[in-house]
Amino acid sequence: MKQVMMLLANGVEPLEMAAFTDVLGWASLIGTEEIQLIDVGLRPLIETTFGLKITPNYLLNEVNLNSFDALAIPGGFEPGGFYNEALSPEFLAVIQHFSAANKIIASVCVASIPVAEAGALRGKKATTYHQIGGKRKRQLIANGAIFVDEPIVEDGSFISSTGPGTAIEVALTLVEKLTDKNNATDLRTRMRIPTPSQQWYQTPQVE
């Protein structure tokens, strides 16, 4: 059995969180190997980007980081307070722990920003939500990442993506890395998730 920590910051986006929950849940039910997703927060009650309130099953001080095989981080919105926790010392320390152990870190949308701020993407290819004006792109580059304008970017043990619409693909990529490609492909078929075209993978966000 594999264990994945899903680290939740206040202001997290529900869709990005749900992609990990559903895909890894299906993988545990019908896949070749059980993948247990453990949701962890820094506070007992989290208010998501759009006001949905959730209670994480565990607080950060209640888990042993060494027991996990991978880290999953959904992104969120600045107005929802996402960066207040996602860039906190406690949050960044978790990322640094997984990075030092060379374990998989899967981020969706702007969740690659705390990964970069933690120093984990220095010299690594990565992407993020490339909003007009390029603020998030500049943050990646300022922290030593090599920005790639593609919807899903993998470099070693790191997975990053460009927006909430990529969350399912990030989750499936995580399943593939934890198990194998055939398992991820079978899971996609059973969940009725369409396979993106090659053009989708190569179309930049901003011309």
DSSP labels, 51-80: S-EE--SEEGGGS-GGG-SEEEE--B-TTT
Answer yes or no: is 127 within a domain: yes
Is 109 within a domain? Answer: yes
Contact 31/179 with Cβ under 8 angstroms?
A: yes
Say if 207 falls within a structural domain.
no
Q: Tally the domains of the chain.
A: 1
Q: What is the pLDDT of residue 177?
A: 98
**Domain extent at residue 175:** 2-202
What CATH number has the domain bearing residue 94?
A: 3.40.50.880
- In tens digits, the chain (207 residues) has pLDDT values of 999 999 999 999 999 999 999 999 999 999 999 999 999 999 999 999 999 999 999 999 999 999 999 999 999 999 999 999 999 999 999 999 999 999 999 999 999 999 999 999 999 999 999 877 888 999 999 999 999 999 999 999 999 999 999 999 999 999 999 999 999 999 999 999 999 999 998 888 864
Residue 184 included in any domain: yes
